[in-house]
């Protein structure tokens, strides 16, 4: 089977590695254009190392991009982390079509930050979907889905790197086998039963200390390691990464209640609080205790004002 791998970064590389280990016939690799001043994309790096043809269109919306995909004479295109919009004629150019990885249980959490949002919303389960993309945003028919738990203390990094990443590589290979066997489903999504959320960025990662502690904790977990939850200390930004939920804390919301080697305890809008353990301030990423000493942070200090 003639296979095109279209993707980028570590996930795209891991999928290509697995395909090569299996002896699959990879006829081309497509990836995002190089960015000046940045290291070579990991997927491109592996493709070059293996002597595979690499194509990097700046856009897939051009006649030239369609001609490129048609010229490859592919049976299938495997899309392993693709951010550029790919129009339907390009998706349909391979004889058996193109399938794509998305890290949520579609139709829930369509959109670009599909791992962050379930954690921020306090959900206990998520998963991944392999689907046949169309020109809607994550709206194409479903080929395969896998579920996983979101642990009560797991961060974005935990859920992605320990679960959705390795599960996703396996699911891509399982999907290819279904396509090869002619048994790959195309189950239409019911978008009325799903959701779409846009980027989980700096605005969404700002901490409102008047909120309940559990909600704040979910935001911190959802933003760790990217984009990093944040608050302010005397007008300067402080990012919060590792933290712990504390159930019983008396004090005004946003107030530093205690400082110890374990971290800096800040009260929330209910009877709970957040023990900040690892943060990033002007000195870089350090323990909260180190930050407190360097910033002369004291008990009674108000954050977020």
Over the stretch 96-154, which tens digit does the pLDDT of each residue have?
A: 999 999 999 999 999 999 999 999 999 999 999 999 999 999 999 999 999 999 999 99
- Looking at the fold, whether 244 and 150 belong to one and the same domain comes out as no
- Looking at the fold, whether 78 and 38 belong to one and the same domain comes out as yes
Domain extent for 247? 213-295
pLDDT tens track for 198-224? 999 999 999 999 999 999 999 999 999
- Looking at the fold, whether 61 and 152 belong to one and the same domain comes out as yes
Model confidence at 250: pLDDT above 90:
no
Total number of domains in the chain: 2
Contacts within 8 Å (CB) and 24+ apart, 25-29: 25/1, 26/52, 27/2, 27/3, 27/53, 27/72, 27/73, 27/74, 28/4, 28/52, 28/53, 28/54, 28/55, 28/72, 28/74, 29/4, 29/5, 29/53, 29/54, 29/55
Model confidence at 283: pLDDT above 90:
no
> Would you state the pLDDT for residue 38?
87
> Would you state the pLDDT for residue 182?
97
Q: Is residue 208 part of a domain?
A: no
- Looking at the fold, whether 104 and 218 belong to one and the same domain comes out as no
pLDDT tens track for 165-183? 999 999 999 999 999 999 9
- Looking at the fold, whether 169 and 256 belong to one and the same domain comes out as no
- Looking at the fold, whether 178 and 58 belong to one and the same domain comes out as yes
Q: Is residue 189 part of a domain?
A: yes
Q: Is residue 255 part of a domain?
A: yes
Q: Is residue 305 part of a domain?
A: no
- Looking at the fold, whether 18 and 125 belong to one and the same domain comes out as yes
In the predicted model, what is the mean pLDDT of the chain?
97
- Looking at the fold, whether 113 and 183 belong to one and the same domain comes out as yes
pLDDT tens track for 65-108? 999 999 999 999 999 999 999 999 999 999 999 999 999 999 99
Decide: pTM greater than 0.85.
yes
Q: In CATH, what number is assigned to the domain containing residue 281?
A: 3.10.25.10
Tell me which of 37 and 244 has the higher pLDDT.
244
């Amino acid at each position: 089977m003639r296979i095109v791998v279209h993707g980028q970064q570590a996930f795209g590389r891991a999928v290509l590695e697995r395909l090569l280990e299996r002896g699959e016939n990879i006829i081309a690799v497509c990836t995002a254009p190089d960015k000046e001043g940045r290291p070579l994309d990991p997927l491109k790096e592996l493709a070059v190392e293996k002597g595979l043809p690499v194509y990097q269109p700046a856009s897939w919306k051009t006649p030239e991009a369609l001609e490129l995909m048609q010229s490859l004479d592919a049976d299938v295109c495997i899309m392993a982390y693709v951010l550029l919009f790919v129009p339907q004629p390009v998706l349909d150019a391979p004889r058996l079509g193109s399938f794509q990885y998305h890290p949520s249980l579609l139709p829930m959490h369509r959109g670009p930050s599909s791992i962050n949002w379930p954690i921020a919303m306090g959900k206990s389960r998520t998963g991944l979907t392999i689907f046949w993309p169309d020109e809607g945003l994550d709206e194409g028919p479903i080929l395969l889905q896998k579920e996983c738990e979101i642990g009560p203390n797991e961060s974005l990094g935990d859920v992605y790197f320990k679960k959705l990443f390795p599960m996703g590589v396996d699911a891509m290979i399982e999907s290819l086998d279904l396509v090869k066997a002619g048994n790959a489903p195309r189950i239409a999504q019911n978008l009325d039963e799903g959701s779409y959320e846009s980027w989980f960025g700096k605005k969404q990662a700002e901490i409102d200390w008047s909120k309940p502690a559990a909600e704040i904790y979910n935001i911190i977990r959802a933003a760790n390691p990217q984009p990093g939850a944040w608050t302010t200390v005397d007008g300067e930004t402080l990012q919060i990464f590792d933290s712990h939920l504390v159930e019983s804390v008396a004090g005004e919301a946003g107030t530093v209640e205690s400082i110890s080697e374990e971290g800096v305890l800040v009260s929330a809008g209910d009877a709970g609080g957040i023990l900040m353990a690892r943060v990033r301030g002007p000195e870089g990423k350090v323990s909260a205790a180190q930050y407190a000493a360097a910033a002369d942070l004291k008990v009674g200090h108000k954050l977020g004002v």
